[in-house]
A and B are shown apart, each in its own frame.
Chain A
Amino acid sequence: MQGLSRAWGLTPLRGVAAALFAIALTLGAVVPALAQEQEIKVGYMKNPIQDASLDIMEKWAKANNVKLTRIPMAYSVFMEKVTATLTSGADQFDMIWHNDDWGQLWKKWLETTDDVKGLENADPWPLLAFWNDDHKLTTVPMAHTVGTFFYRTDLVKPEEVPKTFEELVSVSQRLQKEGKVKWGYVGGMSMNNTWFSFLWTLWANNCDILKPMLERDNEKLKAARFEPALTEPCHREIVEYWWDAINTHKISPPGMTAYGRNEANAIFMAGDAAFTVVDSTHFGEFSDPKRSKIVGKVGMAPFPVGPRAKVPTSWNEIWGWAIPIGVPAPKKKLVKEMLAAMMSDEAGQIEMWKKTGGPPPNVKLWPKLAAEDPDFAALKHAVFDQTPITHAAYYFAEWPAVHKAYSDAVIAAVSGKREDIAKVLEENVEKVRRAGLGTN
C-alpha cells in the first residue's frame, strides 16, 4: 500500500488532483457564504404571470429589507426537480411555484398556509387540489388558470358565437366556405393538451373520464375501482365529434391529433382559425402585436354545449405559491408575511392582470375590475360566472398515469377508422382502469 502511494507521489497527477480538490473546496465554500440572512429564494417557472406576481412581492421585500432571489427553472424538469428537493429535505428554496396538476403529490412536504392573511378573499373552489390529509391548505393562490373559448370578433358577431357543438361546425363551415378563414376550430390534442379538445367537450357534454361523472372525491372514485367512462354513449359521441371535425366536416386541421398548445396558438395567432380553447392567460399573448396578427380581434365566450347538456361546464384552477416544510420557522413566517402582502395588494394584482392576463387571486376585486375593464368582464362572463363548474384534473396519486392512458386511448380512436371508434375505446377501458389501480 505504501509502495502504491509512493508511486502515485511520483506522478504529476497528484498535483493536478490536489489542485482540483482545492478548487472544488473553494467553490463549495464560496457559494453558501454569499447567502444573506434575510433572503427569500423562490423556485419558479419563468413565465410573465409568475414574474408579475413576484414583482408584487418585490415591493414588500424592498420595504422590509429582504432580498428576493428568483431561481427560474425550466418547466420540463420543474416538478421532478422540486419533488426531489422536497423529499430529500434539502433547503434550496424558501418558496416554490405550486400547480393543481401536482397539488396532491406535494401535500406531505409543504407548510400549511391557512394562517396567511388575505386567504379569506380567495376563491375556495380551486383550493381543493391543495388540501392535505388534515384538511389544511398548502398553497396561496397566485393567479387563476382557466380554459377559455376564444373566437375572432372580426369574423363572428357576439350573437353568432356558437352555443352548441353543432353550431361550432356550421358556423365554421360557413366561414370556411366564404373564404374568410382556413379552419374553424384549432386546439391542442396530444398528451398534456387534452383539455383544449377532448376534455372541454367531454365536460360540456355532461361526461367524464371516470365514473361517477364529475366526481372528484377520491374515496368514492376508489370505491368505484376507477371505472372508466370510455364506453358510455356520451363519451363515444365526443370522440366521434372530433373524428368528424377533422375528417368529415374538415373544420379542424388534419394534423391536430399531434398538436400541443404551440401549434394551435401559432395557427390561431396567424389568423388561420376562427375558434380555439386554451388557458385564459394566453389572452395577453393574443393581444401582443409582436406575437400575434389578430390583436384586438379576439373575444371570449362560454363553451358551446353538447347534445346531452343544457349549459356548459367550465373549470377553474389556480397557480399558487407554497412553502417547503423544511424551511426554518422564522423564514416561514417571513414568507407568509410576504404572501399576505401580495394578497392584500389590490393595485398590484390589477396591474398583473393588465400586464399579463393573469386573473387576480383576490376574487373580491373581480366585480370592480370587471366594471372598468371590458376584457376582464368578458372573461368573467365566459368562465367565472358559468355554472356548473368542475375540476380540470383528478387529485389522486395515479392521475398522471390515468391521464396518459386516457389520452392514448382517445388519440388512438381519433387516429383510426370511424367505425372502429367504439372498439378502440372498449379495448382501452382495461388500460385506463389498471392505470388508476396502479397494477398490470
Chain B
Amino acid sequence: MSSDIVLKVEDLHKSYGNIPVLKGISFEVRRGETKIICGPSGSGKSTLLRCLNLITKPDKGRIWLEGEEITDRNVNINKVRQRIGFVFQEFNLFNHLTALRNVSIGLEVVKKMDKNEARRIALEMLRKVGLEEHAHKYPAELSGGQKQRVAIARALAMNPAIIFYDEPTSALDPQLIGEVLEVMKALAREKVTSIVVTHEMGFAQSVGDEILFMYDGKIIEQGPPLQIIQNPKCEQTRRFFQRIHELYARENK
C-alpha cells in the first residue's frame, strides 16, 4: 500500500437492528487531501464517520489507518483514536474546563504529556483558531462559533493523522458559520488531511479535493467538487444539489 494513503476503507457495512445504514462503503484518503462527504439526511454520513473511528462498531468491512488495519481485533482502539481528530456538530466541549484545558486535557491524560508542555501546545492551537484571548473562558461563556473553533483546536492538538468533521456548522447560527469555515479552510490549505461531512458547497468547491456523494448507505457518485456539483451523472445527486441550491437562493434573498 502506498505510504501516502492515510485512510483506506473497504466494503464497510453497518445495520441498526435489521435496518441497513451502510451497505458496502469503500474509499481512500490521501495525505493532505480534504474529502467532502455529502448526501441527504439518513444516507449514513454520520454513521460512516462514527464507524471510521470505531465509536460505532461496523458489522463488516476493513479500515486501515496509515497502513495499519484498525478493524483488527488486537488493535488498541484508544491508541488509534488519538490519531483521528473528531469535530462534532454539537461541539461537545467539556463544560467544566476552560477553553485552554479543553484543548490540553487530551495531551495530559491520554498522551501523558507534561502539564506545561501541554499548555504550551494548547495555547498555540488556540492561537491558530484565533481564540488565544479567550483561553480562560468556560464553554458557557463562548459563542457557538467560538466553541466549534475550540473543538477544532482540541482535535488538532493531538496532532492527528486525519480529522473528521461531522457537519461542523449545522448547529450554528448563520452569522457564525463563516468564522468556523475560515479556520477549516486555512487548515485544508495547510494540507491537514480531513474528511468533512457538510452541505457547505462553497467550502467544498474552494478546498475540497473530492466529493463523495452518499445515498441510501452507498457512495453513488464521486469526483472533483466542481464536476459533481455542476454536472452530476446520477439523478439523485442532481436533485440533491438542486435542492441545496434553491435553499441557499431563498436564504440569500
A binds B: no
